[in-house]
Structure 1
Amino acid sequence: MLNVTDISITRGNQQIIEQVSFALPSGTVMGVLGTNGAGKSTLLAGISGEIPTRTGKVALNGRSLNEWPAIERAKQMAVLPQSAQLNFAFTVSEVVAFGRLPHKTGAQKDREIIETVLTLTDTQYLAQRNYLELSGGERQRVHLSRILAQLWPITDQSVLLLDEPTSMLDPLHQHTLLKIVRQCASEGAAVLIILHDLNLAARYCDRILLLDDGKVYVDDAPCHALTTSSIEHIFGLPVSISHHPTLGCPLIIPS
């Protein structure tokens, strides 16, 4: 579970995030959406502790983020950044193994977990490949495997923070990744995911937080958050909205 209370973040003299609050219970997927420059990645960086917040508090499973020892926090919260940089010729298995560093479960158990997450993310065939030879989408899936290995097994104490994880993926692997996100939530994880695709957010998220110039514009279920008026206000995009014929979630069509 993650609780964010009145956090504000500044960079230089510019306020990027202003008094953002929300609770993200275990078993919930929250999508954060907004225009480029709205502050989405800065919000995630503040929540994860990567950058300092000027005001407010972030609590992980009922305990202030600052009170967690780094290794113990890493066992419960994992971050997938927008672009993970790695410039050494590790194999894919070695990259995923980095996720096991906070744990002391032994080499055999770690190997089993690495194989499990590689299979889950459809990257097991890449296991012995040189990471530097992979495409951008393949690298993104490998890093998803790494953070899953970091939290494995997923429980109701797990928190995943994902920054545009679908941005480099083809349609099949976008849905594969988001189904993994849903599976993690079904096992109890709290997931915050930054997305740009409104229909993916409507389909896979339990809640939508629309960020408008660093402030929360709406935080609600997709059917209430993603309306013609809210989408036009945030994105300047006229749309029509119907219901998906089989899933029942909003189906958003640009006008």
Structure 2
Amino acid sequence: MIITVIRASPQLQSPMYFFLANLSFLDICYVSTNIPQMLVNLLTKRMTISFPGCAAQMYFSLAFGMTECVLLAVMAYDRYVAICQPLHYTTVMNRKLCSHMVVASWTSSLLSSVVINSLVFCGPNTLNHYFCEVPAMLALACADIALTEMVVFTFSILVVFIPFLLIIISYGRILLTILQIQPAHGQSKAFSTCGSHLMVVTIFYGTEICMYMHPKSRSPRDGDKVVAVFYTIVAPMLNPLIYSLRNKDMKRALRRAISRPKSLFV
């Protein structure tokens, strides 16, 4: 619904909503890698998955997760330019740059996932997890995983920690700029503009860092499974709600679409 409303509403044709439409599509892809197989296992009571299916699930889950990390950093940069350099916003955040940043987010993550998704397994195994996640799969590898663990940790820094650091820097600059705004109304409007993105960042990055940046052990902890469910299922489910319910323009466009549904398809 969010993607359709953004495409059909002339007042939502800005970089922020372009990135939001991409985030919504990404969340659809993200949950589609794990939820269907999990539901099949729960309904049929057959807690099995084929090796090709598990490898594909791990690849796409990892790729989409890394894409979301980079895309959230891109959205933070968009908010930084909009608030800290408003006179240059339309020039800097032009359509070409926005498209290039989105393509770079997807391409870099899809290629990086190929490098990480190269483990060797020996025969049937019991996976101590709800779905095929990299930390859980490392415990099943029969070859030496020292190099793989180093690669995973390196990519965790490049794709998780560095974008998170860029987000912190962007919002630090935004906070300093907001505090210099004299009218209280202007400050509250600027805070509300960034509030929804900060909520998404806190939910997603908090759980991702807990999973990939803590010391690993050969046997996955039960807490890791809960954390994984949170950032692969709960966070993508909450993202559209947070962005739509905390955004006045989006709420107006949604109300208009509900009252005049034919306008979405004109």
Q: TM-score, normalised by structure 2?
A: 0.23
Higher strand share: 1
Give TM-score scaled by structure 1 length: 0.23
Larger radius of gyration: 2
